[in-house]
Amino acid sequence: MSILLEVKDVTRTFGALKALDGVSLSLRKGEILGIAGPNGSGKSTLFNVISGIPFHATTGLISYDDQEITRVRPHEIYRAGLARTFQKDCEFSSLSVRDNVLVGAHFSSLREEMHDDTAIEYALDLVGVEESKRSQKAENLSVFDKKRVMIASSVVSKPKLLMLDEPASGLTKPEVNQLCELILAINRTGVAILVIEHIIALLLKVAPRLLILNEGKLLAEGTASEIIVNKDVIEAYLGGSTHP
Amino acid sequence: MSRIKTQATVATICFALLCFLPLFVTDSYIRHLMILAFIFAVVACSWDISLGYAGLFNFGHVAFFGIGVYTTGVLARNYGFDPWLALPAAGVMAGISAIPIAIPVLRLKGIYVVLVTFAFSQLCLQLVLSQSWLTGGSGGLVRIPPLTLFDYNFARDGKFAYYYVALVLLVFTVIALTRFVKTPFGRGILALRDNPDYAAARGINQAAIRVTVLVVSAIPAGLAGGLYCLYFRISAPEVFSFGTATLVLSMLLVGGTSTIYGPVAAAFCIVLFSEYLENFPDLNVYKHLVIAAVIIAILRLAPDGLAGLAKRLTMRLIKDN
Amino acid sequence: MSLDAFTSVLLSGLVLSSLYALLASGLSLVWTTLGIFNFAHGVLMAVGAYVTWQISQSIGETYWIGYSIALMIVVMVMLGAVLEYVLIRPFYGNKNIVLVTVMTTLAGLTFLENGIQAVWGPRLKQLPPLIDGNISIHGLLTLSAHEAVIIVVSPLILIGLYYFLNYSIIGKSIRAVGQNQKAAKLMGINVSRSFILTFGLAAALTGIAGAFYGGLRLMNPTMGSEPLVKALIVVIFGGLGNISGTIAAAYLIGFLEAFLIYFIGLYWTPSLLFLFMIFVLIFRHEGLFGESARTTT
Ligand SMILES: Nc1ncnc2c1ncn2[C@@H]1O[C@H](COP(=O)(O)OP(=O)(O)O)[C@@H](O)[C@H]1O
Ligand SMILES: [Mg+2]
């Protein structure tokens, strides 16, 4: 199958700190790839440089759909069909839930095709935000609902690649299960997904292939069963402050 | 839903009252006050777009008003333009001049935006003062021709016709701006203000939004300036002063930002209140002291302005019923 | 340019610079420490001048004006504290604090300007010079003794300010609050006292500038508005939140202004200064000297 996203030897430095140090990866169309690693290992920074928000890579090449996007402006990256979420739950606080999703639709490449609210309602149906909450202000939602609205506002633009940054943080067990279902459902519509979690167990449920980052470097890559027995991974996790 | 309905009803009633007011009120002084309130309401609610909705600390909005005042003045007085042409030209000129000011604003944040836009309005003032061959310098331009329609002179009818021109400008501005912020693009303006990174991740081009916001907010301010010039028939450099900026900014903050109708209501309150104080000749210089104190008190006691108060009140009414 | 014209440009540049430096250092200090921009700063200059005048009238004009200035400084410190308490303090924690305090300080400006008008009336007043007479150096240079005092004393005051901020305990705590309010609080520094002190200090510096100015020109309630705008330019050239940069910029701008007036005339000078200011803001908003201490929000 053809390659959708290609990251080649990307570094990102903050002063003396190398948050990303020569990271490469590639993602095929329609694939789900999990990215794990201890806190501070550079996972979010990787998403940041791919999406261009709020900064680009220091060196290296990123191409998407056979086009280089290393220094392309973030809103154009989104319009090309690459949507991300953020680790912190965030929303457009003064807008209603519907308008949060509307913004995602209106400023995408789909704008001309959108004539009414069906796409918005459809996206909200897909992520499972109840009808009764859709006219409320987004700031009054629960954490899980905020996360789902954030996902809805990206899937409404029919992206080719969805990047989820720790979507499960702050969720309860049943909510995490629902989230896994949702990720798989979105993937079934043909969307490739990059998903970050620092808890490997969760990724095992949704991602057939995993990458492990540690201190800005790629530590290991492979299928779920390969990863959990990898010595380096076990050491990185047990040596760090977090548990697998 | 019912809150929006209440708002629409109140707006319609106010509009109807304002339409018929000059038929009953023949006192030209009251009409004059209303015209002033209409004009400043336009400046205040258009400022709300950049300052309130977009969250840009644009401090140069009054400069757009001043640019309107001088565009109309110079065209009508120096170059013999028909005032009816010089008036829209003020809107166009203000809109165009918003583009150079947008460039520094695109690169800056927070207090730096206040400073650069403030510098812009001071620059306008200094240019007006120094180019006296065109602007009349510190004396300004006087004897600007008034609006006329065939043989009907707007300056000689006890402020009847000007009242309606100003009302039309206000109503048009309020409707246009309210619609503008309700469009998907307008939602994008709020989205950008609420969370710039998230907004960029949803395809919002910060530069495009900021330029559009500044241009859209400048046009009504310029038109208001043009009308102000044709109504008073002078263009004076005071329009760029601290005093004018303070007056309009107080309307905005007292009325409540990001509401459009709040600043409009506050414009009426402040113009009428400051005129009411004129009734006490003893107050004299204390008038400004009182106004300043009232502004600080309102900012302190009702941080969301009159609009915030109204919202809380209607919420309570809806709950009680 | 003749030597005479040159020296007079130089001198007027020095006098202007000294006043701007006093005014701008207070403005900058308030910005650094409290993170707000005080639009009422300029009118404090007028207040300082009028208060000095009032005191000198009360104690009798036979006394040297310096005594009145000393008393005025006490009054200004108290006024500064009151302003902080009324205009700024109620709005800490407000998410729009930058904007709201722009408004409250503008209201403060209106209040004080009209307050002066109400208390002292519209009649023009002038302060006596600090020292009478003229000074002539080799017949090349002539300036009034008052101007000479301004040129000499202002830098001394600023040096004093510098040492106060960098070496005294109170000064250090003010700077600590400016750099990191939370950390300062955790270290047991009384943040709100630092705020009041800063405002008082800034008001006193401005009051001194006002008293100096009142000996040069006629006083009126709006005498501070033009210097405020100049001080603003100075602060921007020096870099917000950078006191030594501010002082350097004050002298730079004072001279630049004097020379521009000499070469291109009174009309174009202000426009050019504002144009410079806009360019500095766009391309080097940390100012011409050094990096900025405070990031904006
Ligand atoms: N904007 C920034 N400035 C300075 N350091 C940063 C910035 N963003 C991230 N870092 C640093 O880069 C490293 C990686 O951070 P991040 O990518 O957020 O880790 P995580 O894997 O937990 O998502 C951390 O040490 C973090 O402190
Ligand atoms: Mg992270």
pLDDT higher than threshold 50 for residue C255: yes
Q: Which domain holds residue A94?
A: 84-158
Give the mean model confidence (pLDDT) for residues A113-132: 90
| Domain end (from A158, A182, A207) | A158
- Greater pLDDT, A5 or C32: A5
Task: Determine which of A99-103, B210-214, C143-147 has the lowest per-residue pLDDT on average.
Answer: C143-147
Identify the CA nearest to A88 among candidates A169, A145, A182.
A169
C and A: touch, per 3+ CB pairs < 8 A? no
Q: What is the average per-residue pLDDT within C57-74?
A: 90
Question: How many helices, marked H, and strands, marked E, lie in chain B?
Answer: 14, 2
Residue A49 has a pLDDT of 96
Residue B154: half-sphere exposure toward Cβ, Cα within 13 Å: 21
Amino acid C1: pLDDT: 56
Domain count, chain A: 2
Determine the 3-state secondary structure of B225 from DSSP.
helix
Contact B288 C114 (CB under 8 A): yes
Ligand 1 atom nearest to A165, measured from its CA: 23
Give me the percent of chain B exceeding a pLDDT of 70. Answer: 98
pLDDT digits (tens, 9 = 90+) for A160-187: 999 999 999 999 999 999 999 999 999 9
Backbone dihedral angles phi then psi of residue A19, each to the nearest 5 degrees: -70, -35
Q: Any idea which fold B2-15+31-320 has?
A: ABC transporter involved in vitamin B12 uptake, BtuC (1.10.3470)
* Across B253-278, average pLDDT: 90
Mean pLDDT of B214-239: 97
Q: Is C114 within 8 Å of B292 when comparing Cβ atoms?
A: yes
> Which of A158, A177, A193 delimits the end of a domain?
A158
The amino acid at B218: A
Of A73-82, B210-219, C5-14, C264-273, least confident by mean pLDDT is C5-14
Q: Is the CB of A39 under 6 A from ligand 1?
A: yes
Based on the fold, state whether residues A75 and A187 are members of the same structural domain: yes
| Banded model confidence at residue C189, pLDDT cuts 50, 70, 90 | confident
* Chain B nearest CA to A109, separation (Å): 9
Interval C156-178 mean pLDDT: 90
Q: Which pLDDT score is estimated for C291?
A: 54
The overall average pLDDT reported for chain C is 87
Instruction: Give the nearest partner residue to C274 out of B57, B126, B243, using CB atoms.
Output: B126
- The residue-averaged pLDDT of C6-11 equals 78
Residues A101, A43 share a domain: no
In chain A, positions 37-66, which contact chain B (CB-CB < 8 Å)?
51-54
Has residue C153 got a pLDDT over 60?
Answer: yes
Closest chain A residue to the Cα of B195, Cα to Cα = A92
- Measuring from atom 26 of ligand 1, which residue has the nearest CA? A40
Mean pLDDT in residue range B102-115: 83
Residues A129 and A184 in one domain: no
For residues C87 and C106, give the distance between their C-alpha atoms in angstroms, rounded to a whole number: 10
Task: Check the CA dihedral A91-A92-A96-A100 and report its sign.
Answer: negative
Query: Which of residues A120, A137, A158 is at a domain's end?
Result: A158
C293 has a pLDDT exceeding 60: no
Query: Measured between beta carbons, which residues in chain C are less than 8 angstroms from residue B104?
Result: 278, 281-282
Put simply, whether C278 touches B (Cβ < 8 Å) is yes
Q: What is the pLDDT of residues B131-170, one digit of tens each?
A: 999 999 999 999 999 999 998 999 888 899 999 999 999 9
pLDDT for C55: 95
In this complex, the residue of B185, B195, B204 whose CB is nearest that of residue A75 is: B204
Q: Whose CA is nearest to atom 17 of ligand 1?
A: A42
Shortest distance between the Cα of B190 and any Cα of chain A, in A, equals 7
A88 and A77 part of one domain: no
Residue range C73-101, pLDDT digits in tens: 999 999 999 999 999 998 888 877 887 88
A68 and A182 within one domain: yes
What proportions of chain A, in percent to the nearest 5, are helix, strand and coil?
Answer: 40, 25, 35
Give me the residue label for tokens 């509401």.
B259
CB of residue A37 inside a 6 A radius of ligand 1? yes
Q: Using CB atoms, list chains with 3+ pairs below 8 Å to chain C.
A: B
ipTM for the whole complex: 0.93
Q: pLDDT tens for residues A139-158?
A: 999 999 999 999 999 999 99
Find the range with the poorest average confidence among A160-164, B11-15, C58-62, C85-89: C58-62
pLDDT at C3: 65
Q: Which ligand is nearest to the CA of A12?
A: 1
Nearest to B187 among A54, A95, A154 (CB): A95
Cβ neighbours, 10 Å, residue A19: 21
Rounded to an integer, what distance in angstroms lies between the CA atom of residue A226 and that of residue C184? 50
Q: Which tokens sit at C40?
A: 């009422």
What is the rounded CA–CA span in Å between residue A219 and residue A233? 7
With an 8 Å Cβ cutoff, is C109 touching chain B? Answer: yes
d(CA B298, CA B309): 11
Q: How confident is the model at residue A241 (pLDDT cuts 50, 70, 90)?
A: very low
CB A48 less than 6 A from any atom of ligand 1: no
